[in-house]
Structures are given as structure tokens and as C-alpha cells.
Amino acid sequence: MNWVFLILAGVFEMMGVLMINKLHKDRNFLSAFYLLAGFGLSFLFLSLAMETLPMGTAYAVWTGIGASGGAILGMIFYSEPRNTARILFIAMVLGSAVGLKLVS
């Protein structure tokens, strides 16, 4: 169950990152609320996951999901560059997160 919490933490981290950009564009209460909710839920689920998972593994997987997910969402929603090298490095980050799960 703690791996599910960790994945949820990463998904909410992605939401928080996405909302940072939205808040810069819209500057309204709803964007700020979603930003705080995304990061708040992210930290909540990360703390639940870290009850049994090693801190280093949990933090690395959480940041990997958040960073790669933020980059992918930027490509989808904000027309950020979609070149082969960028996609390769995102895949490497995700592959490292999966590798950490396999060895823990």
C-alpha cells in the first residue's frame, strides 16, 4: 500500500507543478487553491509512504515522478520542446525510479 501512496504523492506533485504555471497565467483563487492542494496532498501521501519505505528510496521515486511528470505535462499542455534527447532523459529518470523499487 505504501507504494500506492508514493505514486499518489508523485501524481499530486505533478498537479502542483502544473498549477504553478497556471497560477502565473491566471492569478485567481482557484489556481492558488489547486496549487496548495496538489502540494499538500503530495506531502501527505509522501509522509504516509515513508512510514515503511526507506527515506532515500521514497524521496528519489517521488522527485522522479514529479520531475518527469512535470516535464511531460509541460510538453502536452504548454508546447515545451519534444525532442528525442529530452524524452530519453525522462525515460532514464523513470527507469531509475523503477530500479529503486526493484532493489528495495
- What would the pLDDT profile of 48-77 be if each residue is shown by its tens digit? 999 999 998 899 899 999 999 999 999 999
79: left (phi over 0), alpha (psi -120 to 50) or beta: left
Instruction: Please tell me the distance from the alpha carbon of residue 70 to that of residue 99, in angstroms, as a whole number.
Output: 20
Model pLDDT, residue 15: 95
Rounded to two decimals, what is the model's pTM? 0.87
Instruction: Give the mean model confidence (pLDDT) for residues 94-104.
Output: 83
Residue pair 38/81 in contact by the 8 Å Cβ criterion: no
The DSSP element (H or E) to which 35 belongs, if any, is helix 29-49
Instruction: Please tell me the distance from the alpha carbon of residue 104 to that of residue 89, in angstroms, as a whole number.
Output: 23
Residue 99: band (very low, low, confident or very high) from pLDDT cuts 50, 70, 90: confident
Share of the chain above pLDDT 70, in %: 99
